[in-house]
Structure 1
Amino acid sequence: MATSSVSKGCFVFKPSDSRKRKISITADYFHEGKAVSENDKLRFSTYQSLWQQMKEETEKLQEHLNVKIFDSLISFIKKSHTRAQTEVNDWRYRMRCSEIPTAALVLGVNVPDHELTVQGLSDLLKQSVTPHVVCLQGKECTTVKQVLQKILVTLMGGDSNDEEEEEDVHHSVEFHQRKMICSMASLCRWYNTLTKKSTSKSPSKKRKSLLQHEEAPPIVIILKDLETFLPKVLQDFIIIASNYVQHLPLVLVFGLATSPITIHRMLSHSVSSLLCIELFQSLSCTDHLATVIDKLVLTAKFPFKLSGKVLQVLNNIFLYHDFSAKNFVKGVQLSLLEHCYSEPLSLLCCALNEASARVQNLTHDDCELIRQLSSFMAYVDRQDSEKQIDLLTNDQYLKIAVEALLTSLHNYHKNYFPVLKCLHIFTSSLPRYPLGKQIRELYITCLESNVWENEEYTAAFQLFRMMAKDELVHLLQKCLEVLQSSEHKSLTRSIETLEDFLAKFQKLDEVPVEDIEEGEEPKARSQKSLQKKTDLYQLQKLWILQTLLEMKELRRSKKPSKFEVLRMDVLEFMDKLVRQYLLLPETQALHEVVYFKAASTLRRHLNAAPRAALQIALSNPYHYLKNEALKSNGGTITNVAPDICIIYKLHLECGRLINLYDWLQAFATVVCAAEGKDSDKINNGQVDDILHARFIRAVSELEFLGFIKPTKQKTDHVARLTWGGF
């Protein structure tokens, strides 16, 4: 942290708080200082309920995705320091006695997701393997002393079992850091004392099951981000730890974002030979995202839905910024929050069993809001004149219609996603993936336009016509499983049709193919004609003529085989299924209640442009402050603007180097004109202390934002870092 600045003063660096502060969203966000209505409270509770359900689903998904790699890691750690190894007295044991068991965990480039994975691994290890788990970060361990200090403080501070002692751990951390000698020898003495106590005394309930299996649980040290550690610090720590591995059951876990080659690049051969490394590969970030989308987006379990543009924004952020499924889930949360905040009718974005009671409690103003929806007006236009009058005038009749429309919308989603998955099963098997390799790409296409109107859809069905029987049967079986898992009554007929197709394909192998008599007639005729005695010229002429006639007759008389007919029936059925169920959401009445479409709002929050926002705020403060006195024509300086805005506007009129004295005089002139002070004193070079302090503060803020910097070319000048306005 640099403390050099244009203005000299006292700089305070506050320590980071170890406790995580949770920021809670209150219902005040929904009414913006106005009187709280029941509608606002209901929308806020709707947001909380939906997000809690999504959050629980995401946590279950995270546990399910990591269960395989966690099981293999736990098995490796348990086997790393067993009694059987200590009893072995052969050359392999003597060779490995100084090697530290090390797990190289390749987590991938999605760095924001690493925290959840490492935290889940740490919690699981503490529950099932050992209570001695330490998580280290590269930014906290710049020296070997800091590494050892962090390990000792975490292990000794986290050794308490009683709840009262656990609450006082963070108060005693600083005391431990001052009193203890940071060395592996002190850690070894502490561990030996701890294991002796655990064997002599009866263990607590929390560790009873743990100590029954292993009297000396291992010490697991997790290096979250190995790439950020200094190679020199890491090498020294490994060398020191290898000298105590016979006395301490140490296990290292390296969290890697790139590849295992990083270990050998950071460590010399003599140091890496002290590690017994085993590689573990986590799930790829793209597969993680596909599972998240399948559980949160492509389901009728949650009534809240994303439009095509919103989903495209979240998809682009994932692909071009961070590859983080965690940030994708946060984007879904922000979309849900914005939808419940901006859409007054979002109180109906709930489960179908709750919607009926909420519809009956709608006020007259809520009914008028429903009548103003474009999708509802389109629904009214399709009704009879008598129903139109009732829908537009009778609130009770409107509520009955709204209940039916919400049920229809719910059934639409129940049918939509199984059919979408069936279409993706077919298209993902085609070469070059005409409709996208991932289902999210196909879903975005279906949300933005009728998929059957795209050229890619036509090209895909042309490729379907050349599909082999075994491949087609395999795809039909997958589609049948998807439709059967949906368990919706309207898809029962489609399930029966697929089962009938599969039965017909099975019969094709049992029944022999019938000869096509019509196809044999031209051949027989040509053979008879060739049997006649003719000379060479007539024979050649007759052969050419008969060949052309034969080809023409074959084209006319050739009949498709039974497989080809059955394949065409399957494709017609799939096309009919797509056109029936994959309709645009805009065709459904009241789709505005559940679909969030403000992609620009989401992009502004997630894809922030800080430099552009700063320049807009400094050049046009009215854009954010909404004060009428701050309105000004382009290029002029408003004398009532904030000091930093005046300083920014004045610095735009300067060149590469800015004279601080001239800048102060210009600032004082503008400010005194606003306050009605005498400008003669300023012309004489007299500026009061308050005005001088305001100038220094504004210049320091501008330097902090990165617009200027001190320069050594001239002592009373600063260098400008930007050019032009915005």
Structure 2
Amino acid sequence: MEEFDSISEGCFLVMPKSARGRPSLKKRKRSYKAINATNSRSSKMKLGDAGFQRLFDGDEPEASMQLRSDSYDNSWRQMKKVLDDVLIETNQSTFDQIEEFVTNAHIPTYASTGTMSLPFHEIPTALVFAGINTPDHDNLFTQIASRLIGSSAQSDMSTPNYVALLQSRDCSNLRITMRNMIEQFLAADVDYDHSDEDVEEEENEDAMELGEDADGSKKPANDQFNLSTMRGRKSRLPNYDMQILDGWYRHVVEKQSNSFSLPNLVVMIQDFESFDPTILEDLFEICSEYRSRLPIVLLIGIATSSNALHQSLSKSALSLLRTEKFWLQQSDVWFNKVIDELFIKPTQSIKLGPRPYKFLLDHFYLFDFSIGSVMASLQFTLMHHYYANPLSILSPMNDTPVSKEMLVKMQEDGLLTADHATHIRMLRSFRTHIDDICEKDPNEALRLLDDDNYLMTEAVPRFLEDLNRHHMLSYAVFEIMTTIQACFPTFAGLRRSKRMLYLELLENEDGLANSEIVRWLVSLVRKMDLEALTGLLKSLSELLLDDNESDSSLWSEGVSDELDYKKKVVGWMERLGMEEVDDDQEEESLGDEVKKTKEEKLPDLDLGRQTKTAKRVKMYIIKKKGGEPVKVSNEIADWIQLIFSRYLGSFVAWPLHELVYYSNIKLHEKSFTPQPRASIQTALGQAQHYINCSCCSSKDVGSIQPTEQDTSILYKLYLECGRMINLYDWFVAFGCVIEREKGNKKVDENEVQARFIRSVAELQFLGFIKATQRKTDHVVRLTWSHT
């Protein structure tokens, strides 16, 4: 069977419904063989179609290629979970408030007060301000819907919620909007886990409720609602009638008669600004009419401000809503937490190098503030890392570091070959490591270069373990640095966020060891007084205790002992008396100590002309503290200078850092910062390559062929002009080119003029020309402004 590159050249066999045109058995068997052959080829090319191909010029084992594919799936699944969890955690308080609002929306207030209910019915409405990035609202409102549905499923005591999510692209008119809403509510109650007998029994029960027997005979109809619309049967009511929803809700209430409370119907309008206001006004009016029978709650997503609500809806429609406002967190809060969770913390995941990390920051803060764009960029990073890097099978995955036993097992299974060892020796970090140890330990360098088994099973696990330990220590010192920085809020030069400090850590060759901010911090710590020093030690001790409770891997015994963190902080606190005497006790005992000191030492001191309060404070410091705060501040400064210079170095100093840090930026820039104007210029200048036209091809690149597209002809004439061009001259030149296309035939001037005007309009739309008015002649100005 031939393989075709184009689907238009393929041959498809359509089996006839009737037996008259049925093909013979011989042809059918041959078709089945062809189908089986095609299926076998597609199964063999399954990984290739997914984007993964065998590297090392096709010599990579197929199992290694499969491992790279599985590793990518697992890594992206874990990263996506972190991104979603951070988004939920960021808006946790707002989600709780929305859930509480929906739960208490239909609790009657007149039951306890004894007041009479009003004749009109206001719909409880939550105005959710989700920010200006409307593409990000999909994820946010999906999580809100999952939260409202999941909260009722987790607890039997809470109010169950049925959610219908409406978007403007699916609600072009009122009928489609009503049908979409009703279908979502009815589909939420369908249970697909029943067996065939249960489904048949339910269908018989529905037939009885419809007024029919199981065999199809008519029966007197009753008022009880049926689920025929969900079983695919025809209903007498149109699918956009609210009576269907009313009957379905009464059926749900009867089925949940033993529940604690009645279910709520939540209608979520995701992009309010994109809806037709007339459709929403009619929808609100219909829901208000059914307010006494259906507990409907509205959630309206607003991207701008509440003024959009008042400007779009009429006063009569606004009077039907009982609104309450909720604000979701901005995307930059989520982005900062994502950077902390994925890159700064020592997680077993792929990290970004300096240029991709800076590109991610610039693209987020200077372009779109988009959550979806960040997710797409991170997914692209994982895809390219596992797709193009054969050593990605050694990257830490599934939160499990690479161990010696794991590599030995991979080598026995044939996943690691000599090509992998050769590829490791070609890494720049490995060559730098060999240059560093060739004089100190030449035997080790020679063994790393010659012995593949030693390199893959002994050296690689050691290198990756050292890199992982470097991540843990650098993160611990990074947290100490941000804690000390927070003690000096008045110094503008120290006000740097974590993301910018991390960028400086990646970009500098020496990391933050010799940076300006480190010198500032060390200098300011040396000048701390007693009160500031006490606050600093309290912050450091809180950092130690909080991280021990939340993340035991950060301040593990090995990290704490290597930094000598716990012993030093506790020792400094004891020397300043922070462990023995509290602040309240210190103030109470201050009077007695000053009195005693005054009686014993005051006659021997020359305090000069000072106030009594100053004398008392100075005498207390001299007796109890002496010069201890100065000694402690100098010791803290020396200690932080030591750990900053030792553990805040650059990651490039560690061998095999390419397995963890992704540093390819060219493909990222090409994919996420496209240049449409350059593409348009190339398409207009070389149109034959884009439309696959053979008659327009010419060896002379600058020549203008009359068979080319009109806009391409006009663009090439435009390139021959300066900043200004006369329209009539441009028209005459365009007509001369068109005449060559017609040959000896006469060219209709009206046709040429129409084609010229159309092409000029296209160039003006693309932003190549800008019309200007003059009294003498018709001139257009050529511009390079973007559209």
Scaled by the length of structure 2, the TM-score of the pair is: 0.68
Query: Pairwise mapping of residues 556-595 of structure 1 onto structure 2 (< 5 A)?
Result: 561-595=627-661
Q: In the superposition, relative to structure 1, how do residues 370 and 291 fare at CA in structure 2: closer, same or farther (>3 Å)?
A: same
User: Quick check: 1:348–1:359 contact (8 Å CA) kept in 2?
Assistant: no
Q: 1:705 to 1:616 in 2, by over 3 A?
A: farther
Matches within 5 A, 1:461-476: 461-464=522-525, 465-466=527-528, 468-476=532-540
The answer to whether structure 1 residue 212 and structure 2 residue 283 are counterparts is no
Deviation at 1:90, TM superposition (A): 4.3
Structure-1 separation of matches of 2:343 and 2:469? 16
Correspondence 1:48 to 2:107? no
Change in Cα spacing, 1:394 to 1:192, as seen in structure 2 (3 Å) is: closer
Q: In structure 2, what is the Cα distance between the partners aligned to 1:130 and 1:703? A: 58
Over the matched positions of the two proteins, sequence identity in percent amounts to 23
| 1:319-334 to 2 correspondences below 5 Å | 319-334=365-380
RMSD over aligned Cα atoms = 4.9
Shift in Å, 1:110: 3.8
Q: Which moved more, 1:64-73 or 1:275-284?
A: 64-73
Cα deviation digits, residues 409-433 of structure 1 (max 9, x gap): 2222222222222212222443355
**2:716 aligned with 1:649, yes or no?**
yes
How far the C-alpha of 1:251 sits from its partner, in A, is 0.9
**2:395 matched residue in structure 1:** 349
Match of residue 448 from structure 1: 507
**Equivalent residue of 1:417, what SS?**
helix
Residues 1:423 and 2:487 aligned together: no
* Change beyond 3 A, Cα 1:641–1:422: farther
Aligned to 1:134: 164
Residues 482/86 of structure 1: CA separation in 2 closer, same or farther (3 Å cut): closer
Q: What code does the residue aligned with 2:543 have?
A: C
Residue aligned with 1:451, SS: coil
Q: For residue 57 of structure 1, what is the amino acid of its counterpart? A: V
Q: CA deviation at 1:225?
A: 1.8
**Alpha carbons of 1:426 and 1:258: their partners in 2 closer, same or farther (altered >3 Å)?**
farther
**Aligned pairs for 1:613-628 within 5 A:** 613-619=679-685
Residue 421 of structure 2: aligned partner: 367
Partner of 2:103: 78
The match for 2:519 among 455, 458, 462 is: 458
Distance 1:656 1:456, change over 3 A: farther
User: Once the two structures are superposed, what CA deviation does each residue of 1:670-726 show, in whole Å capped at 9, x if it has no partner?
Assistant: xxxxxxxxx8x7244599xxxx9xx99x979977984799x9x9xxxxx99975799
Return closer, same or farther for 1:44/1:474 CA change in 2, 3 Å cut-off.
same
Q: Cα deviations across residues 192-242 of structure 1 (Å, max 9, x unaligned)?
A: 422443455xx3xxxx5x962334x22211111223334454344434433
Aligned match of 1:101: 124
Return the letter of the residue paired with 2:451: N
Equivalent position SS for 1:212: coil
Amino acid at match of 2:421: C
Question: What are the Cα deviations for residues 75-103 of structure 1, in whole angstroms up to 9, with x where unaligned?
Answer: 22122113x44645744x63595221111
Match of 2:60?
37
Count, aligned residues: 630
Q: Which residue of 2 aligns with 1:414?
A: 472
Three-state SS of the structure 1 residue aligned to 2:339 is: helix
1:505 and 2:573 matched = yes
- Cα distance in 2 for partners of 1:339, 1:706 equals 36
Deviation at 1:285, TM superposition (A): 2.1
Q: Which residue of 1 aligns with 2:272?
A: 226
CA contact (8 A) 2:134 2:303 kept: yes
Aligned CA distance change for structure 1 residues 178 and 565 (closer, same or farther; 3 Å): farther
Gaps of 5+ in 1: 1-22, 528-558, 670-678, 714-718
> Helix, strand or coil: the match of 2:247?
helix
Distance 1:181 1:286 in 2: 43
Gaps of 5+ in 2: 1-45, 153-158, 200-226, 582-589, 610-624, 774-778
Match of 1:244 among 290, 295, 301: 290
Alpha-carbon separation, structure 2, partners of 1:43 and 1:667: 56
Choose which of 294, 306, 325 in structure 1 pairs with 2:340: 294
- Describe the shift of the 1:420–1:110 C-alpha distance in structure 2 as closer, same or farther (beyond 3 A): farther
Q: Is the 8 A contact 2:518 2:641 kept in 1?
A: no
Distance in structure 2 (CA, Å) of the matches to 1:71 and 1:590: 45
1: CA distance, partners of 2:98 / 2:743: 73
1:359 and 1:583 mapped to 2: Cα distance? 33
Moved more, 140-149 or 422-431: 140-149
Amino acid at match of 2:69: F
State how far apart, in whole Å, the 2-side matches of 1:175 and 1:721 are: 65
Of the structure 1 ranges 145-154 and 70-79, higher mean CA displacement relative to structure 2 is found in 145-154
**What TM-score do you get using the length of structure 1 for normalisation?**
0.73
Shift in Å at residue 446 of structure 1?
0.7
Task: State the shift of 1:641 in Å.
Answer: 9.2
CA distance in 2, matches of 1:411, 1:502: 24
Match of 1:5? none
Cα deviation digits, residues 140-181 of structure 1 (max 9, x gap): 44554554343344435655444799xxx9x99999999727
Partner amino acid for 1:404?
R
2:737 alignment partner AA: A
- Kindly provide the amino acid, as one letter, of the partner of residue 103 in structure 2: K
Decide whether the 8 Å contact of 1:104 with 1:277 is kept in 2: yes
2:452 match = 395
Please give the alpha-carbon distance, in whole angstroms, between the structure 2 residues aligned to 1:644 and 1:34: 44
Letter in 1 for 2:248: L
CA distance in 1, matches of 2:52, 2:658: 21
Query: Contact 1:359–1:402 (CA<8 Å) still a contact in 2?
Result: no
